[in-house]
Structure 1
Amino acid sequence: MALPLSSSGSGGLFKLSKKSSQRTLTPSSAAEYLASLKAADDDALAREQARSHSPTPARDVVHASAVNYAPSIASTPALSFASTAPSSLSSPTTYAATLEEDDDPLVYPDNPPTSNDPPPSALHSEFGYCNNEEYRYTSSYRDGTSLFPQHQDPPMTILLATYISYLFLIAIGHMRDFFGKRFWPGYYKHLMSAAGYAALNSDFDSFYTRRLKLRIEDCFARPVTGVPGRTILMYNRVSPDFNVSFKLTGQLTRALNVSSYNYLGFAQATGGVADAAEESIRRYGLSALGPRLEAGTQDLHTAAEALVARFLGVEDAAVISMGFATNSTTLPALVSRGCLVLSDEYNHASIRTGVRLSGASVRLFKHNDMASLEQILRESISQGQPRTHRPWKKILVVVEGLYSMEGTFVDLPALMTLKKRYKFYLYVDEAHSIGAIGPHGRGVCDYFGIDPTEVDILMGTFTKSFGAAGGYIAGKKVLIDKLRTINHAFAYAEAVSPPVLTQLTAAMASIMGVAPPLLTPVGAINTQSTALIPYSHPGPAPAAILPSWMHLPPALLSGVEGNTRLRRLAFNSRYLSQGLRKLGFIIYGHRDSPIVPLLIYNPGKMPVFSRLMLAANTYPGAVPFVVVIVAYPATPLITSRVRFCMSASHTKADVDRLLRACDRVGDLLDLKHGCPKHERWTVDEVIDRAVELVHMD
């Protein structure tokens, strides 16, 4: 039977007890609220400066043309931060003394660094300190690994209770609408339209939002502030009217962030990449102030596109200022009436929007089912267009590299076999896979060891692994040049802003590493000279592609830090996925996926799971967690889930805490319907055997 859906505010079921996670503000007006918030931030900054006891020296900077490229990554140092360690914190004894003052695990690491490592201090909240080489893993496809993970079905009682819960909620919702229209007509008129105007949407269209989603509205769109890194600072709020509106309480809660797409941890306000973005603001400002086809193309755009092409291993690439628009504007430029698009049934809404705008015919095939795709291909090729039976102008197959709701990889090897047999065009959306998987972070082609030039169109975004914004389209130069002239994103949309370009360029270069400097001096970016630089994929970025004013730390330029982030992400992803499976949960997706969906099913358990994780009292010493719960229409009706997003910024201790919290909540909500009880491990056994668990097939 469904659990009651509480309408209390965020964390309304329980009151947080960790004083280090909250800061109390008592505003009486908007002006006083802002003033008190600023005072609280200034007080936190003063306490942090007092904790360091000495000024922070400037970091040594090295230009791309002066670095000695070090291809060896056998010895991985601690990840570089924005500044070196204060002298007073250079020894373990002194650092341990500061932990006694404030030992919040979300701000300071559990294991203090040695005297040879720079203590991260408060930077630990943005990117977790972890220098243990055992907690590393290389993401790559291994022969014999199944690309079709077995999804266990829950007991029939769980499915029956889920259907009954939805029927009960829908029935109660319609009853409230029926009586509400007769006893409170003004309330419904206010919801649907303004006075004197026709309704913009019917009550039927908004039924799901009003009667189902509203009950758990406190679990969505939580207001946050600061950097969405390893941790996130959240404004606490309450609702006096059953989630119709919210009021801030004046408190802030720092929680462990397992909901952002910060796969490689580049969402930092400190560090070499952030410093490069800051320098670009001084030189270029905040906006290009024009579309690409007018006066919006800068040397940074040219450099970024050249770097993206080298990163992917293709001839050319074009960057677009919005990830959603990358699909929704490119697909209409590729196909039109008389063309056929074969789309995976779980493809993103941006792909569906682009196909509808194009006017092309579309057919869906079952998710990642190559037999279903081949059957549709054979039928479509033999029958041709409807009514006329003329051959299709072109057939385009559109898939995603990593599906964001399922956590599954596309079966690219089988898809390439079909491509060679049926001669269709292939469009791969790598929004979630680029930079996150593969031994070199180059996406699904890198993961499966497939030549990227065999894929006709590669699409991806910079909003996940690179901590930036926008997207790219990559492929053959003749195709990209044509798209630059007919894609509406180039003709009408604002160009990518300079600091965003610098962010993605610096982050991508740190993953690739930078090659030794050329004999010719590095000055302004010259596309003709950079195009002639010999390049072997996957390899380091040529130094001439980077702007001459971009200064990055040696660990970034050598590619050591980028490689470490990739291996940390791979370890965290497999550890959480394997650990939750051993605890008995039903988990979707592949084990190398940084997206880990945990099935909840019952709609009544969704808000309770979210609130329990945020309450931070699931076990002694627990910390708050911000999680994402997902339900219909983003997923099938009965497969509601919580979706964890792993990051390289998380430490092994963070995943330990997450597993303990899930283990406790799973027992309370009866969510363990996966492997049989005799095959399950205890949470302590999972944590103790983490390294062994990660390397299991």
Structure 2
Amino acid sequence: ARLNRIHSIFGTVDGLSGRFVSVFNYFKSLFYSKFMKPLRNGNVIHDEPPRKRFQEDFESTPLYIAVVTYINYGIMIVFGFLRDFLRRHGFEKTHASTEANDMKDFVPLYASFESFYTRNIYNRIQDVFNRPICSVPGPVIDIVERQFSKSGWMFKYTGKVLKNVVNLGSYNYLGFAENDGPCAEASIESIEKYGVGVCSSRKEMGNLDIHVKLEQKMAEYLDVEACLTFGMGFATNSMNIPCLVSKGCLIISDGLNHASLVLGCRLSGAQIRVFKHNDMKDLESKLRDAVVYGQPRTHRPWKKILIIVEGVYSMEGSIVNLPGILELKKKYKAYVFLDEAHSIGALGSRGRGVTEYFGIHPREVDIMMGTFTKSFGAAGGYIAGSRALVEHLRYHSHSACYATSMSPPVCEQIITSLHIISSTDEGKRRIKQLADNCRMFRQGLKKLGNIVYGNDDSPVVPAMIYAPTKLGAFSREMLKRGFGVVVVGFPATPIAESRVRFCISAALTEQQLQDALDAISDISDLLQMKYSKKK
């Protein structure tokens, strides 16, 4: 009876009610698109971009590649256990951290598969991670050379510096990671006025006028009522989600959400359910069950339901199906938390993120979150939305109440870059250049025969490597040819889906990207990485 009541309210997927709603919504959208102009702050907007159709590409893994990858891991795990046996009995020296002798009868404090993976696999390719950079992290970088021991546990600096390495791994989407120009000059002036550190929280003696100005500018840019900024992007998620939901609430989270979102969900005390990445059918199934059955055991209605998604997913290069998410949000009376860390500044004709990309007004999203660490070339994060939301977080967020305020030069970097993005031809040029670079590079990889994940407009471009033995080899070969890349494996990705993650910047030239594609083609032939079956 309860299910029938829900169907009578929301309609079934293939029932008459669902078909009636679909037809009604079609004619309603047709009417508004033909005869009505969208409104923003009570004013008619004449240049609202058309809504984009949702699309993404996830070519399936060839069966033989999946089998070979698991065989690789199987061989490494067998030899890993054999080497652990030899270490335990003194036949091989132990380089890893171990428990003290007087604690041998205790349960190991940090024994896990992750530590096993670190000892026996990660350290073999450790030279391709944590490379020390001694220059501005712009389109080209200087890398300090290191020489590793055969075991991978020790290294020494050779004293050499690898100059002018093309940077294909930083989140410098709009090229604002600079040590000269208007942003750097404005930051230097702010140091002369405010100094570098604030030495207090916003609730005490650390609320500067520059912080208030930044929040006002950001709210205007996003076209929302208010905005609250924080000094750390990770904490913007992990410390604020617990302020929005608690015991008796339900979080429905995308299966590929960032670790900061996952931590925030766990700290909240709310029930957590995970839906398949960008799968609207699975999301609707979980929403319907939540409405029909309520809380476990008591079956009381949930206090609130919060859907948490990202704008651009940092490991998959995919863009959230925001139109589908908002349709289900309205249908089931849920709230939406949108993390725009990788999409703000990088998507949309004016850089306003995934909402502008799909032609959706930001006020349709309940909680807008983003960071300043990517497109703005700075640090920190923000949450924007209604004034009631922001005031609630201002007085209840641990990150707002107890963390030290954002450094003034960082604030000035954000304000200046925001002005360039929103109000100058240079900002428009950078946004367009980023979009052109993303499409050119992604299409180039596909033509080479690499399997590339995600959306064509995403600045994150993952190319699949699969075999863990190829991760280190690919990165080293790219560095030999003058390109710095980021390779990613377990635990950041599923164990059999190792990849190279390219992050494209507007500061990169077409020639640099073409040279990179030529190098990738040569290395892909060498390592047999052209897995795609698409013509």
TM-score by length of 1: 0.68
Q: Provide structure 1 residue ranges, at least 5 long, that are not aligned to the other structure.
A: 1-138, 514-558, 617-623, 680-697
Q: 232-241 or 266-275, which moves further after superposition?
A: 232-241
- Structure 1: which amino acid aligns with 2:415? T
The secondary structure found in structure 2 opposite 1:612 is helix
The residue number in structure 1 matching 2:523 is: 665
The residue number in structure 2 matching 1:642 is: 500
1:204 positional shift:
5.0
Q: Distance in 2 between matches of 1:267 and 1:483?
A: 30
The residue number in structure 1 matching 2:444 is: 579
Within 5 Å, give how 1:109-188 maps onto structure 2: 143=52, 145-149=53-57, 151-184=58-91, 187=94
The residue number in structure 2 matching 1:448 is: 358
The secondary structure found in structure 2 opposite 1:191 is coil
CA deviations over 1:192-216 (Å, ceiling 9, x no partner): 1346456542265510111111111
The secondary structure found in structure 2 opposite 1:183 is coil
- Cα separation, partners in 2 of 1:164 and 1:577, compared to 1, 3 Å: same
- Cα separation, partners in 2 of 1:142 and 1:389, compared to 1, 3 Å: closer
- Cα separation, partners in 2 of 1:631 and 1:185, compared to 1, 3 Å: closer
Pairing partner for 1:595 from 452, 456, 460 = 460
Q: 1:585–1:675: 8 Å Cα contact kept in structure 2?
A: no
CA deviations over 1:131-162 (Å, ceiling 9, x no partner): xxxxxxxx97765x45232x223432211111
The residue number in structure 2 matching 1:191 is: 97
TM-score by length of 2: 0.88
- Structure 2: which amino acid aligns with 1:377? L
CA deviations over 1:108-145 (Å, ceiling 9, x no partner): xxxxxxxxxxxxxxxxxxxxxxxxxxxxxxx97765x4
Q: 1:581–1:675: 8 Å Cα contact kept in structure 2?
A: no
1:492 aligns with 2:402: yes
- Structure 2: which amino acid aligns with 1:171? V
- Cα separation, partners in 2 of 1:443 and 1:203, compared to 1, 3 Å: closer
Q: Distance in 1 between matches of 2:252 and 2:94?
A: 45
Q: Distance in 1 between matches of 2:330 and 2:402?
A: 37
Q: 193-202 or 238-247, which moves further after superposition?
A: 193-202
- Cα separation, partners in 2 of 1:443 and 1:204, compared to 1, 3 Å: closer
Q: Distance in 1 between matches of 2:283 and 2:112?
A: 39
1:638 positional shift:
1.3
The secondary structure found in structure 2 opposite 1:224 is coil
CA deviations over 1:560-597 (Å, ceiling 9, x no partner): 11111101110110000011111111100111001000
Number of aligned residues: 484
Q: Distance in 2 between matches of 1:301 and 1:338?
A: 35
CA deviations over 1:484-520 (Å, ceiling 9, x no partner): 000001111111000000000000111111xxxxxxx
Q: Distance in 1 between matches of 2:93 and 2:516?
A: 46
1:241 positional shift:
4.7
Q: 2:460–2:502: 8 Å Cα contact kept in structure 1?
A: yes
Q: 2:51–2:357: 8 Å Cα contact kept in structure 1?
A: no
The secondary structure found in structure 2 opposite 1:372 is helix
- Cα separation, partners in 2 of 1:315 and 1:579, compared to 1, 3 Å: same
CA deviations over 1:62-110 (Å, ceiling 9, x no partner): xxxxxxxxxxxxxxxxxxxxxxxxxxxxxxxxxxxxxxxxxxxxxxxxx
Q: 2:317–2:455: 8 Å Cα contact kept in structure 1?
A: yes
Within 5 Å, give how 1:517-556 maps onto structure 2: none
Q: Distance in 1 between matches of 2:395 and 2:90?
A: 58
Within 5 Å, give how 1:499-518 maps onto structure 2: 499-513=409-423
Q: Distance in 1 between matches of 2:158 and 2:101?
A: 33
1:281 aligns with 2:191: yes
CA deviations over 1:620-642 (Å, ceiling 9, x no partner): xxxx1110111112111211100
Q: Distance in 1 between matches of 2:99 and 2:446?
A: 48
Q: Distance in 2 between matches of 1:231 and 1:645?
A: 13
- Cα separation, partners in 2 of 1:203 and 1:461, compared to 1, 3 Å: closer
- Cα separation, partners in 2 of 1:615 and 1:375, compared to 1, 3 Å: same
The residue number in structure 2 matching 1:234 is: 143
Q: 1:314–1:476: 8 Å Cα contact kept in structure 2?
A: yes
Pairing partner for 2:487 from 615, 620, 629 = 629
1:252 aligns with 2:161: yes
Q: Distance in 2 between matches of 1:204 and 1:595?
A: 29
Identity of aligned residues (%): 48
The secondary structure found in structure 2 opposite 1:508 is helix
Q: Distance in 1 between matches of 2:430 and 2:280?
A: 33
The residue number in structure 1 matching 2:427 is: 562
Q: Distance in 1 between matches of 2:175 and 2:56?
A: 29
Q: 1:277–1:499: 8 Å Cα contact kept in structure 2?
A: yes
Q: 1:192–1:202: 8 Å Cα contact kept in structure 2?
A: no
Q: 1:192–1:200: 8 Å Cα contact kept in structure 2?
A: no
- Structure 1: which amino acid aligns with 2:513? V
Q: Provide structure 2 residue ranges, at least 5 long, that are not aligned to the other structure.
A: 1-47
Q: 2:172–2:375: 8 Å Cα contact kept in structure 1?
A: yes
1:186 positional shift:
7.2
Q: Distance in 2 between matches of 1:140 and 1:497?
A: 36
- Structure 1: which amino acid aligns with 2:99? S
The root-mean-square deviation of aligned C-alpha atoms, in Å, is 1.6
Q: 1:309–1:316: 8 Å Cα contact kept in structure 2?
A: yes
Q: Distance in 1 between matches of 2:297 and 2:206?
A: 46
Pairing partner for 2:480 from 611, 615, 620 = 615
Q: 1:427–1:457: 8 Å Cα contact kept in structure 2?
A: yes
- Cα separation, partners in 2 of 1:582 and 1:220, compared to 1, 3 Å: same
Q: Distance in 2 between matches of 1:142 and 1:173?
A: 52
The residue number in structure 2 matching 1:110 is: none
